[in-house]
């Protein structure tokens, strides 16, 4: 069986070789190089064109791609480190600001924020209740976690961990309104209570705490504020409740609650 031959013009019109004089003219122009190429793959003179169209990446191109990918990954990791560093600094600044606000309240009103027994008379309806005036924010009989307490506020020791924020805000020492605990940069909260950790800051010492702190950030915070050890010094850290023992080390795979005295 005979095989028909086809040629392509510069506008990619396919013309059979048997198409008379016009077909012969096209064929002559093809041989003279006036037509760019033949589309039929069986013509050996066009093997180089086909191979060029099907070639893969060169080593140089692959190297450029790898460099670009490396720059992207480095940028992402660098951005994460910058964000963690910024959150760490914000956490430290917040803790120090709360310490200053707590001390200012004591100096201005001769009372402890949260424990103030005359807060209603001082601030009216801006506070829900008075504290008991014993100088401690929270329960004094036993180490009990109250820094993160929510719910109904009453005139009792447990509610003092909520009243502290109402009183500090009523005195315009902390931004916001109400008794809700302020949020921290690690999507946790700050809170106040009496003592922290069974082997840490003892009862009788009011503390401010921040939770949900990643291990690497917790180590950086403790190192900048204190000694970098979760079970010693002025800053204590733990992974459990605040009536449990403090941690022995900071693990990058865990989150911590950090506390320091007010």
CATH architecture, domain defined by 83-261 = 2-Layer Sandwich (3.30)
CB neighbours of 140 closer than 8 A, spacing ≥ 6? Answer: 134, 157, 194, 203, 204
What per-residue confidence (pLDDT) applies to 52? Answer: 54
- pTM to 2 decimals? 0.72
Three-state DSSP string of the chain: CCCCCEEECCCCCEEECCCHHHHHHHHHHHHCCCCCCCCCCCCHHHHHHHHHHCCCCCHHHHHHHHHHHHHHHHHHHHHHHHHHHHHHHHHHHHHHHHHHHHHHHHHHHCCCCCCCCCHHHHHHHHCCCCCCCCCCCCCCCCCCCCCCCCCCCCCCCCCHHHHHHHHHHHCCCCCCCCCCCCECCCCCEEEEEEEECCCCEEEEEEEEEEEEEEHHHHHHHHHHHCCCCCCCCCEEEECCCCCCCCCCCCCCCCEEEEEEEC
pLDDT tens, residue by residue, 237-255: 999 999 999 999 999 999 9
Residues of the chain with pLDDT under 70: 1-56, 70-71, 73-79
What per-residue confidence (pLDDT) applies to 61? Answer: 76
Q: How many Cβ atoms from other residues are within 10 Å of residue 155's Cβ?
A: 14
pLDDT tens, residue by residue, 117-158: 999 999 999 999 999 999 999 999 999 999 999 999 988 899
CB neighbours of 225 closer than 8 A, spacing ≥ 6? Answer: 92, 95, 234, 235, 260
What per-residue confidence (pLDDT) applies to 190? Answer: 98
What per-residue confidence (pLDDT) applies to 189? Answer: 98
Q: Where in the chain is the domain with CATH 3.30.1690?
A: 83-261
Residue 246, both tokens: 């403090």
C-beta of residue 130 within 8 angstroms of C-beta of residue 116: yes
What per-residue confidence (pLDDT) applies to 71? Answer: 67
């Amino acid at each position: 069986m005979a095989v028909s031959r086809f040629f392509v013009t510069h506008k990619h019109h396919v013309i059979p070789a048997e198409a008379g004089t016009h077909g012969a003219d096209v064929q002559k122009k093809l041989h003279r190089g006036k037509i760019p190429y033949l589309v039929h793959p069986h013509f050996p003179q066009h093997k180089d064109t086909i191979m060029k169209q099907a070639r893969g990446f060169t080593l140089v191109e692959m190297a450029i791609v790898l460099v670009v990918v490396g720059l992207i990954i480095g940028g992402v990791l660098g951005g994460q480190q910058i964000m963690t560093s910024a959150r760490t600094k914000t956490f430290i600044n917040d803790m120090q600001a709360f310490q200053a606000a707590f001390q200012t309240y004591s100096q201005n009103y001769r009372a402890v924020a949260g424990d103030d027994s005359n807060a209603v008379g001082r601030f009216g309806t801006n506070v829900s209740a008075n504290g008991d005036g014993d100088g401690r924010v929270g329960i004094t009989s036993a180490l009990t976690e109250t820094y993160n307490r929510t719910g109904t506020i009453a005139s009792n020791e447990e509610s003092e961990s909520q009243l502290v924020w109402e009183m500090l805000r009523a005195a315009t020492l902390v931004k916001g309104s109400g008794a809700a605990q302020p949020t921290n940069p690690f999507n946790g909260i700050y809170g106040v209570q009496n003592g922290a950790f069974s082997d840490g800051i003892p009862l009788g010492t009011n503390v401010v705490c921040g939770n949900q702190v990643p291990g690497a950030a917790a180590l950086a915070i403790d190192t900048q504020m204190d000694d970098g050890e979760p079970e010693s010094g002025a800053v204590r850290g733990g992974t459990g409740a605040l009536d449990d023992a403090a941690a022995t080390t900071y693990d990058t795979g865990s989150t911590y609650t950090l506390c320091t005295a007010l």
